[in-house]
Amino acid sequence: MNIAIVGAGWAGLAAAVTAIQNGHVATVLEATDAFGGRARALKGILPDGTPITLDNGQHILIGAYSETLRLMRTVGIESRNVLLDMPITLQFPDGRGIRFPDWPTPLDALSGILGARGWSLGDKVSLLKAALRWRFNGFLCDAHQNVADLCRDLTPRINAELIEPLCVSALNTPADQASASVFLRVLRDALFGAAGGSHLLLPTVDLGVLFPQAAASWIAQHGGQVLLKARVETLAQDLTQTTSQLNATSQSPWRLSGQGLGSVADADFDAVIWATASSNTASVLMQYGLSAPETISMQLQEWMQTTQALRFEAIATVYAWSASVTLAQPMLALRSDVDHPAQFVFDRGALGGPAGLLAFVVSASDGDRATIQAQVLAQARAQLGLTLQPVQTVIEKRATFACTPGLQRPALQIAPGLLACGDYVAGPYPATLEGAVRSGVAAAHALTAGQA
């Protein structure tokens, strides 16, 4: 099949790589001049004038991200060369918190809980009881339960120093609003899944190098193509002709139009995978629906209604610098509140970046850029004893969907021969790199299996 994939983020590139592996021809069309979508590299400048490479938000992976790690290997990226592998550590600057040893699962979790600093025996017992109960129940719960309710029997310290940071980092949604069932799925895979599933994998290269650039090169080397600055604006089905490939499926070919498409604008595609942000996807589909057959138009309308009902959360990353700064660990948890919004800080100098550069992450952020930056710099003084200079503050306003209880996410298939992929599409994971990659892989496999 000749497949068009709109969007060169992690989901779109994963779909293209998988489609080519399945014997198809893939053309990826990206509106911007960079690979990676919302997880891409950015240019920045230190206060002393030194040019640096930043990321459009600080990301981490975990060992349970099996599909992401597999595809990285496929396109020639060895994780040991680009990721710092460390047992899960959620410790604060004062040393309190949990740190797992590098032991087999689930002994690492058990030892980490028992050895956590600053936690009383009552704190640890409440967490062990909850963990055993969750495992006994197969890490399943009522779809409409939130994380705060799930964890109501835990002590206030465990909720504040473990559950809240884990929840907001994994789901980008506060515990009292977050889906307990999705939270349990992440805990199951990380803490009780494959060996090393709980390990934190911290990128030591920029996000472009981590996967997207290598994926684009791999696609080109294997008969596909990736076009940058190719903005697809309209989608149509040519109902007057069929290609030889489509004779077997009795579907009409797809046509794309827009800016910078070149010869692609004259090409017939057997299928289209839309791998852009949900709002962009819905906008183009709305226009296509005006001319689509009635049965297709109804499917589009239903899909768009589900998509447009999603609510989104922002993530802010505040980059700040001081030449002499080194943190005790590459990643530290921070105590967050209304005036001190960052939940984590990363030592980019310890992760392959320039010395003294820190990245503060504010998940589920709320506020303007200047306010968030000022609050984080004040938080650095209060909790780390550091006076830092601001470098750049990046706010991704629609970073993730709000992962709320009972949430209905749009389906993989939009219409026959037309699919969507992205971290917002229905799947087992929240809006993470793994969720995006899995959706791209699933979309390509659905075409191969004839499900689309």
Q: CATH number for the domain including 392?
A: 3.90.660.10
Which pLDDT score is estimated for 240? 64
Measure the N-to-C terminal CA separation of the chain; round to a whole number of Å: 12
Residue 249: predicted pLDDT: 45
- Give the chain's domain count: 3
pLDDT reading at 195 higher than 90:
no
Q: What is the pLDDT of residues 111-130, one digit of tens each?
A: 999 999 999 999 999 999 99
Query: What's the Cα-to-Cα distance from 214 to each of 70, 72, 275, 302, rounded to whole Å?
Result: 13, 8, 18, 36
Contact 231, 31 (CB under 8 A): yes
Q: How far apart are CA 10 and CA 31, in angstroms?
A: 14
Q: Which of 129, 164, 198 is the last residue of a domain?
A: 198
The pLDDT value recorded for residue 239 is: 67
Q: What is the pLDDT of residue 192?
A: 75
Long-range contacts of 76-82 (CB under 8 A, 24+ apart): 76/214, 76/218, 77/210, 77/211, 77/214, 79/201, 82/203, 82/204, 82/205, 82/209, 82/210
Describe the crossing of helices 180-191 and 164-171 by its angle, rounded to 10 degrees. Answer: 100
pLDDT at 434 over 90: yes
- CATH number for the domain harbouring residue 145: 1.10.3110
pLDDT band at residue 388 under the 50/70/90 scheme:
very high
Model pLDDT, residue 310: 95
Instruction: Give percent of the chain with pLDDT exceeding 90.
Output: 84
Look at residue 246 and tell me whether its pLDDT is greater than 70.
no
Mean pLDDT of 315-324: 95
429, pLDDT greater than 80: yes
CA neighbor of 447 nearest in space, from 425, 423, 416, 426: 416
As a whole number, mean pLDDT of residues 337-345 equals 96
Q: Is pLDDT of 57 > 60?
A: yes
Higher pLDDT, 452 or 230: 230
92 shares a domain with 13 = no
Q: Residue 137: is its pLDDT beyond 80?
A: yes
> Which of 238-247, 318-327, 361-370, 432-441 has the weakest average pLDDT?
238-247
**pLDDT for residue 193:** 72
Instruction: Please indicate whether residue 107 or residue 55 has the higher confidence score (pLDDT).
Output: 55
Q: Is the pLDDT of residue 365 over 80?
A: yes
- Contact yes or no for 10/211 (Cβ under 8 A): yes
Same domain (yes/no): 247, 170: no
Indicate whether 255 and 338 sit together in one domain. no
**When comparing pLDDT for 173 and 251, which is higher?**
173
pLDDT at 105 over 70: yes
- Residues 205, 351, single domain; the answer is yes
Q: Which of 272, 257, 275, 215 is nearest to 24 (CA)?
A: 272
Tell me the average pLDDT of the chain: 93
Among 174, 198, 222, residue at a domain's last position = 198
pLDDT at 244 over 60: no
Q: For residue 160, what are the domain limits?
A: 88-198
Which of 8-17, 223-232, 242-251, 296-305 is the least confident region? 242-251
**Domain co-membership, 15 together with 144:** no
- Return the SS3 of 291: coil
| CA-closest candidate to residue 230, choices 12, 11, 1 | 12
Q: Same domain for 361 and 422?
A: no
Same-domain status, 166 and 247: no
Together in a domain, 218 and 301: yes
End-of-domain residue from the set 132, 166, 198? 198
If asked whether residues 383 and 278 sit together in one domain, one would say no
| Co-location of 48 and 28 in the same domain | no
pLDDT(242) > 60: no
**Predicted confidence band of residue 243 (pLDDT cuts 50, 70, 90):** very low
Same domain for 31 and 66? no
Nearest-Å Rg of the Cα atoms of the chain is 23
Q: Are residues 162 and 92 in the same domain?
A: yes
Q: What is the CATH number of the domain that holds 217?
A: 3.50.50.60
3-state secondary structure of 255: strand
